[in-house]
Amino acid sequence: MRVVVQRVAAARVEVDGGISGSIGAGLLVLAGFEASDADADLDWMAAKLTRLRIFADAAGVMNRSVVDADGELLAVSQFTLFASTRKGNRPSWSRAAAPELAKGLFERFVLRLEANLGRRVATGIFGADMQVHLVNDGPVTISLDSRQPE
């Protein structure tokens, strides 16, 4: 499982001219899944994201998590995080989980995020053509991979 997480002042996802999910200050999480992902990957990533200390404390030091900062989460499924460009210029998506599998993984991941955050997590619409709008705060952008924990 891979994610790109961005600390945001605000973010929203639009689908067909309507807003499917929006948040104020918090984290925008773009999440990609591969067929071999398991519950352990989802658990690790949800815990890491909700404990990641990238919000400023009173001294201005990144020392608080999204939970500590009372921030919100917006999760968007994004299979393109598993793009391979080794051969030629057209990306291959062969490592990305098939849509039927990825949808279930995404839904279970959101449930884990909600459990760790203690409240609802906003989302995009799985498989839809989405427009993601964000105000990146910092900017702070971090990529994480459950198979290469750092």
Nearest 5 degrees, angle CA 141-CA 53-CA 115?
A: 95
- In the chain, the amino acid numbered 90 is R
Contact present, 8 and 134 (Cβ < 8 Å): yes
CA-CA distance, 111 to 101, in Å (whole number)?
16
Active site positions, annotated: 78-80
